[in-house]
Amino acid sequence: MGKPTGFIEYLRELPLDRSAVDRIRDWNEFHLHMEEGKLREQAARCMDCGIPFCHTGTLLNGMASGCPIHNLIPEWNDLVYRGLWREALDRLHKTNNFPEFTGRVCPAPCEGSCVLGINAPPVTIKNLEYTIIDRGWEQGWVVPEPPKVRTGKKVAVVGSGPAGLCAAAQLNKAGHWVTVFERADRVGGLLMYGIPNMKLDKEGVVLRRIRQLEQESIKFVTGTEIGVNYPAEKLLNEFDAVVLCTGATKPRDLPIEGRQLKGIHFAMEFLTGNTRSLLERNRNGSFVSAEGKDVIVIGGGDTGTDCVGTSLRHGCKSIVQVEILPRPPQDRQGDNPWPEWPKVYRMDYGQEEAAAKFGADPRVYLTTAKKFVGDAEGRVKEVHTVQIEWTRNDKGQFVPKEVPGTEAVRPAQLVLLAMGFLGPEQPLLDALKVERDARSNVKAEFEKYATNIKGVFAAGDCRRGQSLVVWAFNEGRGAARECDRYLMGRTYLP
């Protein structure tokens, strides 16, 4: 490495974020950049560790360990240390089609498996990644690169989220004519409507990349849902191959007493409406607003955090985030060894903002909702909760058990359900007669991605279930490789 003793000489440093109190007043991204000298010092902390677990990309105990797209992290860290930013960008793009997305929204399993992280704070891989690509855009190094030769083959990609965009980009590089179908009014899927603007800017980041893909001759067709306003038979007849990247968009519901009350919404309905209103510059109430309301978010994951951050920007009266799991420990425990993802207590941006405004982390742990209660007009006014403990049943499985005497009544005029997703919606799969697995996901073997229908492939959350954006990248690229092999008899795609 460029600085063999860098991990000894320099401490881990991250760029400052905008003040939590200030940033909840707008929808702009909240991360700031570091000066170049500091960035090169951080890159110098990357060790000549022999076996760089940071880009192994595997699952340990059901969690990602290392980078699922196998980013060549030590190599571009070394290039950044040497000031070779253009070369670092080329190295980054070898494995990652859209590092500006993962650099902003990925939880960085690479850092969780960094060898330095065994006994010291890990390398700031995520910050270096998005700094490399942001500099590439600023310097004009990221330009359309249409293929020099076309195969004449036509491929349809259904869904324009992370997996769909990666599949489309790779298939286009192979020389195929690619059409991406998106049922929403804008391209991007989860990247457009599932992640709030302050976390991933739509105009300056997402749409910038979409425009580049269009200039490379990828065709995007919005407002088109296969099996509804575009026949599935037509799709199969007009294209030489199809790649399904529809995501896992069926939300997990909470069927308890009072669920029918007004003011109870799925998280994606809340987040999508908010982003659409921002893009249309229409803040006149055409979306679900948290302004002046007591808000309860049920679910402790990334989507729940996004609901917290969005509610704060609306100007909510109060915010509580209900989490059924226990509060994670401050430090990595013995049953969670390196290089597993460290299951430790963290405050994400939404919790930091809530604490800045209201004085405390909004999460309440080991708690579940028992019922919703409404007013005379049928609107939710309170949520009844109870604390739980996890005990084993007669089959040895952990199940939640209510703790007597811990019932609480919480005021709420808005409840947001952010408890994850159950799999892909089924009408499209029914129309195509695609075989599914026991979890209702598309049945297609990992690394092969082929469904039971000849020439139809599947990738991303619709195949593997709800997962990280970076796993969607892995699958989109892999499905493109196998689709290219199917069309041409061989492939040069990675």
Q: What is the pLDDT of residues 174-224, one digit of tens each?
A: 999 999 999 999 999 999 999 999 999 999 999 999 999 999 999 999 999
The DSSP symbol for 290 reads -
**Do 116 and 339 touch, CB atoms closer than 8 A?**
no
Answer yes or no: do 311 and 448 share one domain: no
Answer yes or no: do 372 and 439 share one domain: no
Amino acid code (one letter) for 194: G
Answer yes or no: do 336 and 220 share one domain: no
What pTM does this model have? 0.95
**Do 290 and 307 touch, CB atoms closer than 8 A?**
no
Residue 282 lies in a domain: yes
Residue 494 lies in a domain: no
Answer yes or no: do 367 and 440 share one domain: no
* Phi, psi angles (nearest 5°) of residue 462: -70, -20
pLDDT in tens, 226-262: 999 999 999 999 999 999 999 999 999 999 999 999 9
Give dist(CA 417, CA 259) in Å, integer. 11
Tell which of 114, 138, 162 closes a domain.
138
pLDDT in tens, 363-407: 999 999 999 999 999 999 999 999 999 999 988 899 999 999 999
DSSP string, 57-77: -EEETTEEES-TT---HHHHH
Answer yes or no: do 314 and 337 share one domain: yes
Strands (E), 228-336: 241-244, 250-251, 264-266, 294-298, 318-322
Give dist(CA 125, CA 88) in Å, integer. 13
Closest CA to 92 of 80, 83, 82, 107: 80
The domain that holds 61 is classified in CATH as 1.10.1060.10
Place of tokens 């058990």: 401
Answer yes or no: do 242 and 259 share one domain: no
Residue 320 lies in a domain: yes
Answer yes or no: do 338 and 426 share one domain: no
Average per-residue pLDDT for the chain: 96
Domain count, the chain: 3
Answer yes or no: do 481 and 405 share one domain: no
Domain holding 230, by residue range, is: 154-249+422-488
The domain that holds 200 is classified in CATH as 3.50.50.60
Answer yes or no: do 414 and 426 share one domain: no
Residue 231 lies in a domain: yes
Query: Which residues, 6+ apart, have CB-to-CB distance to 153 below 8 Å?
Result: 175, 176, 177, 240, 241, 487, 488
pLDDT in tens, 455-473: 999 999 999 999 999 999 9
Answer yes or no: do 132 and 197 share one domain: no
Residue 362 has pLDDT above 80, yes or no: yes
Tell which of 403, 419, 435 closes a domain.
419
**Do 68 and 109 touch, CB atoms closer than 8 A?**
yes
CA angle 225–228–229, rounded 5-degree value: 75
Answer yes or no: do 296 and 387 share one domain: yes
Tell which of 395, 419, 443 closes a domain.
419
Residue 144 lies in a domain: no
For the chain, give the number of residues: 494
Answer yes or no: do 317 and 427 share one domain: no
Residue 37 lies in a domain: yes
The DSSP symbol for 336 reads S
Residue 143 lies in a domain: no
Residue 147 lies in a domain: no
List alpha helices for 83-238, DSSP H: 85-93, 99-105, 109-112, 125-138, 162-173, 207-215, 232-238
